[in-house]
Amino acid sequence: MPNIDPQRSIASNIDFLLFNPNGPLYDEYTHLFPSMFKHADNYIKIANALSEHQYGMTRNEIIKQTGNKSGEGITRILTNLEKCGFIRQYRPLGTKEKNYQLIDFYTLFYHRFLNDRQKAGTDFWTSIQRTPAFYQWAGARFELLAIQHCEQIKRFLRIEGISTSIYSLRTTTGEHGAQIRCGTP
Tell me, what CATH number does 42's domain have?
1.10.10.10
Q: Give the model's confidence band at 115: pLDDT under 50 very low, under 70 low, under 90 confident, else very high.
A: confident
Q: Give the mean pLDDT of the chain.
A: 87
Residue 179 falls inside a structural domain: no
In a domain, 170, yes or no: no
Is residue 158 assigned to a domain? no
Residue 180 lies in a domain: no
In a domain, 111, yes or no: yes
Residue 166 lies in a domain: no
Cβ atoms of 66 and 46 within 8 Å: the answer is yes
pTM: 0.84
Is position 154 within any domain? no
Number of domains in the chain: 1
User: How many CA within 13 A on the CB side of residue 59?
Assistant: 17
The pLDDT of residue 175: 62
**Residue 25 φ/ψ, nearest 5 degrees:** -110, 10
CA distance 122 to 152: 37
- Sign, CA dihedral 8-11-12-14, equals positive
Count other C-beta atoms under 10 Å from residue 123's C-beta.
Answer: 14
pLDDT given at position 118: 67
Are the CB atoms for 90 and 99 separated by under 8 Å? yes
In a domain, 34, yes or no: yes
> What is the mean predicted confidence (pLDDT) over 47-55?
94
CA-wise closest residue to 157 among 137, 138, 183: 183
Domain extent for 87: 10-148
Nearest to 19 by CA among 161, 108, 142, 118: 118
